[in-house]
Structure 1
Amino acid sequence: MRAGHADVGLSERLLNNWQRGFPLSNRPFALVGQAEGATENEVINLFADGMQRSAISRIGGVWAPGVGGAALLCAMAVPPERLKAVAALVSAHPGVNHNYEREHVLNLWFVITGTGAEPVEQALATIESEAALPVTRLKMVRPYRIDLGFDLHRPAVGGSAIRQRPPRVEAADHDLAALVEAGLPLVAEPFATWADQLGVPTANVLGRIQAWLDAGTLRRFGLVVRHHEVGFASNAMTVFNIDDAQVDALGERLATQPGVTLCYRRERAPGWPYNLYCMVHGRSRDQTLALLHAAIAAAGLSEQPRQVLFSRRRFKQTGARYFRPLPEAPHVR
C-alpha cells in the first residue's frame, strides 16, 4: 500500500516517532508496525514513500563530531551575480553535504566532510581554484549540542549539553560505519543484509551499533528527516564573539535552551571574530526569532556581540561521508 489520504496519520507518526530509538532487531520494520498498528509491508512502503518525496533522507545513524573522518564548516563571499554558479560548483563536490545561501556578505555557507583532513583540504583547494574565490575555514573546537531530530507536534524543549568526547570508530569497524551512515535498505531484514555484505553474524552488527549508541559515538539511530520537507522551513545561524575564558560555560548554557538544535565552538578566522555558534529551526521566521531571542536571554548572552544569519536558499542537503570514500567530483562551469 502506498501513502494516500488514509495513511496521512500513520505516515506522520512514523516520521515523528522513529527519528531515534529505531529497533535494533532482525525485523525492525515489523516491530515499528506493531507499535503503530500497521503491517511490516505498510511501514516499509510508507518509509519508501517518505524517501521518494524527500521527507526522509535515510534511516541510519548520526555520528557525534570527531568520531571519524573530518568535517569543516566553510563560508565564501560570492558576488550576487555569480552565486548560483558558484553554489553549483560547490554542491558538485560529493563531500559537500550542506550548502546554503545566508543573509550576510559571507553569503555561501557549506559543510564538507571526508575520510580525513587531507582529502577535505584537497577538495577545498579545488573549489577555490575553480571559483577563483577564497574559502573561509571554520574548524570546530568543541560541540555543545548536536540534535537535528524534529518533533512535529510538541513545542521546542530544552536538552542537555555534550560534556565528554565519545570514543572514535575503530578502523576495523569502518566498513560497518560506512553502511550506518549510508542508511538501511528497505527490506524485511535489513541488518541481515548488512551482515551478509560484511561476512559477519547479524548479532555482531546489532551489537556494535548498540555499543556505539551506548558510548555516544552515535548520537542516535533512526529516521533522518529533511527539516524543510517536514515543515521547519526557517533556520537561523547565530554567531557570538565570546571571551575565550567564558565561551565553554556560555556554550553549555546555550546548548540546553529550547529550540537550539546545534551549538558549538569554532576557531575564529581573519575578519571573522566569532567563536560560538548556534542553530535554531522554526516553521516561520517569526517563530525562529522568538525561540532564538528566548534562548539568548536565558543563556545570559543578550549583551554579547553577535550576528544572526538566516538562510535564504538551500542548494544541497545530504548525509555526511566520514567513512565512505568520495566518488570523483564532476567539473561544473
Structure 2
Amino acid sequence: MTLRHIDLNLLVVLDALLREKNVTRAAESLHLSQPAASTALARLRRTLGDELLRRNGRYLELTPRAESLVGPVKEVLATIEQTIIRPPAFDPATDSLRFSVIGSDYVGATLVRPLLTRLHGLAIGLQVNVTPVSVRYLEALRRDEVDLAILPDRIVDERSIPDCSRMPVIVERFVGAVWRHHPYAGTRLTADLLRRAPYLEYAPSGQRAIVEDDLDAAGCTRRVAASSSSFATMVFLLSGSTDLVAVLPERSVRRAAASAEIRVLEPDMPLVPLRESAFWHRRRDRDPGHIWLRERLFATARIEFPDVVTDSAA
C-alpha cells in the first residue's frame, strides 16, 4: 500500500472513530449520517487491513493497531490544519474561530464570563464552548481534543501531560460561608462551628475536593449534611432558613452575598489557596487564533486575579 491508495478524507473519520470509539457519536461529531460513517469505517478496515473497532460486550474498543494510530493520525491532521489550511495570521474582525474550553462552573463565572465581556465586538466570528470537567480531561489534553482546559493545579500531574503547555490564571483564597441569619455563626470560620453545624460539601464529579484535605490537616471534623458539584449552586443552598456551613472560593461568596443573603467568614485555620492553570497541547503554541485568544484570557486573568503571575510570551 502506498500513499496514493489512501483517501486522506478518511483520516478525519478515522480520527473521530479513534476518539469516540463509537460509530454513531463519531458521525454526529462530523455532521455525517450513521450509514456514511459505517461505510467509511468499512473502507478504513479494508485499506488498513485491521478491524480497528471491535465489540467487547455492549461497547466497542480499539484494537492494538488502532491504539497505535491515535497519536500519528492526530499529528498528521494537526500539521495539515496548522500549516496548510489555516492562514498564517488571525484577524478577529473577519476570521471565524471555534474555541473549546474545559472548566468548572466557577471558572465559567469568574474567568470566562469577564473574558467574553472583553471580547464583545472584537471578534464577530468567535464561538467559545465551555464544557464541564469530566473523568477524561487528561485524555482530551493528551489527544489535543480541546483548545484549553482550566484546572486546579493540585489535581494535575504535569508528568502525565508532557506534551502540554501551562499558564497560571487563577489564585483565589477560601473562606467560610453561611446564611446571613445563621443561628450561631459569628464572623469567623472556626473548628467549633464546623463541628457543630451541618456541613455543605463541595464534591466535584462525586470526588473529594482539595480543600477537604486542608480541613482534615487542621483537625476540623465535619458532619456532611449535603453536597454539590457546583459552587454557584452551593451559595444558594446556604440561603434561607438553614444552618449549613460551607467553605468556598471568596469571589463565589462575595458576588452572591447580597442576593443570596450570605455572610463571609474569615477562616481560623490555614487553607491553601485555589490555584488554577490553563493547559493546552503544544501543537497549538504557535497557532495564530489560539495565541490571540489566550493572550486575552491571560489579560483578563491579571485583572480578575491580581495575584496571578503570567508570562505574556507563553
Structure 2 length-normalised TM = 0.29
The structure with the larger Rg is 2
Structure 1 length-normalised TM = 0.28
Between 1 and 2, higher relative CO (CA 8 Å, sep ≥ 6) is seen in 1
